[in-house]
């Protein structure tokens, strides 16, 4: 049970990673930059919606 759970989780993530790599041109081409990491959310929704003072 535990064995199968761990196998399913790790193998699922491995195949998902492989799948995601298929659509990444920067896998083979060093001249293409990796996608920029998402901007950290600094403001909460309410603060972002409020007009600046």
Partner 1 sequence: MRDLGFVLYLAALIGLGFKRPFLLVLAFAYIDIVQPQRLSYYLLNSVQISMIVAAMAFGAWLLFDTKKGARFAPRQAMMLILLLYAWVTTQYADFPVEAQDKWNWASKAMIWAIFLPLTLRTRLRIEAYLLFMVLSASAIFIVGGIKTAMSGGGYGQQIFMLNDNTGLYEGSTGSTFAIAIIPLILWFCRHGTIFPPDWRVKLFSANLIFACLLIPVGTAARTGMLCIAAVAGLVMRDMKRRVGYAVLVCAVGVAAVPLLPKDFTARFDTIAGYQSDGSATTRLAIWAWTWNYAQSHPFGGGFDAYRSSEIKVETKAVEGSGGVASVQAKTQDDKSRAYHSSYFEMLGEQGFPGFFLFLAIHLGGLIRMEVLRRRFKKAEGEDAWISPLATALQHAHIVYLIGSLFVGIAFQPFAYLLVAVQIGLDNTVSAKVREKKPIVLKPAPAAA
Q: What residue ranges bind partner 1 (CB under 8 A)?
A: 2-7, 9-11, 13-15, 17-22, 24, 26-30, 33-35, 37-38
Distance CA 49, CA 51 (A): 6
Minimal distance in Å, beta carbon 39 to partner 1? 11
Task: Locate all alpha helices (DSSP H) within 1-53, ordered by sequence.
Answer: 2-22, 45-49
Q: Which is nearer to partner 1, 25 or 51 (CB)?
A: 25
Contacts of residue 34, defined as CB under 8 A and 6 or more positions apart, other chains included, come to 26
Q: Which is nearer to partner 1, 3 or 52 (CB)?
A: 3
């Amino acid at each position: 049970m535990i064995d199968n759970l761990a196998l399913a989780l790790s193998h699922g993530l491995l195949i998902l990673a492989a799948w995601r790599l298929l659509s990444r041109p920067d896998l083979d081409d060093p001249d293409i930059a990796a996608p920029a990491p998402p901007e950290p959310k600094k403001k909460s929704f309410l603060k972002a919606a409020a007009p600046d003072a």
